[in-house]
Amino acid sequence: MPQTPPTRFAYLGPEGTFAEAALSSAVAPADGVRQPAASVPAALAAVRAGEVDAALVPLENSVEGSVPATMDGLADGDPLVITREVFLPVSFVLAVRPGTRPEDVRDVVSHPHALAQTARTVAERLPGVPTLPASSTAAAARSVADGEHDAAVCAPIAAERYGLVPLAEDVADHPGAVTRFVLVSRPGELPAPTGDDKTSLVAVVTDRTGALLDVLREFAVRGISLTRIESRPTRDRLWVYSFSLDCEGHVAEARVGEALAALHRVCEDVRFLGSYPRADGRASRPVPDEAADAAFTDAQEWLARLRSGQV
């Protein structure tokens, strides 16, 4: 039976975050109820508890890299799977309450990734002014509107929503940054293969010579290209690491399925995080003839004949 499409969504709040904008670009407002969450862990916890059907959370940024809260939240706890990815160009304004002058600003608040992406520009415009972290760019904007801080690095939509005005626009040090968000839900029926998909997983390996090579080999010998790989400490044991990675292809494909089965054999643990349509605008590399499903089927039939005595 086909899985019912999600109708209740959580996102990293409060209102006015890039996550809300990304969710709006992926799901029409009429298609579901949106619920802002105070943090990435809170959004994922709402999915696990059944309070919402899915959550949209940031996974990585083209300038600052991965979002640890999302990486760790997907690797730990009850399993969740990615069903969709969304790429959102991000731009920042330095927002203040109306009437605030540069010399009035005593602090600047924002999400750590936003602060890192605007550090040079903010320092040039407000030399010597300290920066402080917030749970999200929209939370930073709200805190300025409430009078808790003087300036926020946030999205233009957040500044408008909380009645702020830009002290400076386009304050990113590297214009053109893009954030990748993922829509996650509890395990269920997977999205059907499209021929241009990604598969995500976390592989835990022990501290031994060649452990990473063993992981990479299972993809290379099957003609599978990786689109992302990075290591994270498992946090429960010293010198035991997990590798979070994305590869081209869908688990329904023979080559990807065989690779995952092989990883299950050579790794201490493998957590499948989903197969879903890729949305990064890059076409998957052509599948070599020897890695196509037909080649795997032919090989299995040949092996079956050998085992039955038909040499």
DSSP structural state of residue 159 = H
Could you tell me the residue ranges of all domains in the chain? Answer: 1-89+178-188, 93-168, 189-311
Domains 1-89+178-188 and 93-168 share a fold: yes
Q: Which residues contact 297 (CB under 8 A, 6 or more apart)?
A: 254
Closest of 65, 144, 154, 159 to residue 114, by C-alpha: 154
Please name every residue paired with 244 in a beta bridge, in sequence order, or none if there are none. Answer: 202, 230
Report the alpha-carbon distance of residue 265 to residue 277 in Å, rounded.
27
CATH architecture of 1-89+178-188: 3-Layer(aba) Sandwich (3.40)
Distances (CA, A) of 29 to 20, 24, 46, 223, 272: 11, 7, 20, 40, 30
Closest of 242, 244, 241, 255 to residue 284, by C-alpha: 255
Which numeric CATH code is attached to 189-311? 3.30.70.260
Residue 1 confidence (pLDDT): 44
Assign a CATH topology to domain 93-168: D-Maltodextrin-Binding Protein; domain 2 (3.40.190)
Where helices occur in the chain by DSSP H, the ranges are 18-26, 40-48, 68-75, 112-125, 137-145, 156-161, 211-220, 254-266, 293-307
Residue 286 confidence (pLDDT): 82
The tens place of each residue's pLDDT in the chain, 311 residues long, gives 456 778 899 999 888 889 999 999 888 777 889 999 999 999 999 999 999 999 999 999 888 889 999 999 999 999 999 999 999 999 999 999 999 999 999 999 999 989 999 999 999 999 999 999 998 999 999 999 999 999 999 999 899 999 999 999 999 998 888 999 999 999 999 999 999 999 999 999 887 888 889 999 999 999 999 999 998 887 776 677 889 999 999 999 999 999 999 999 989 899 999 999 999 878 788 888 888 888 888 888 888 888 888 87
Cβ(219)–Cβ(231) below 8 Å: no
Q: What is the dihedral of CA 32, 70, 282, 213, to 10 degrees?
A: -150
Q: Which residues contact 309 (CB under 8 A, 6 or more apart)?
A: none
Neighbour-count burial of 155, counting CB atoms closer than 10 A to its CB (0-12 exposed, 13-18 middle, 19+ buried): buried
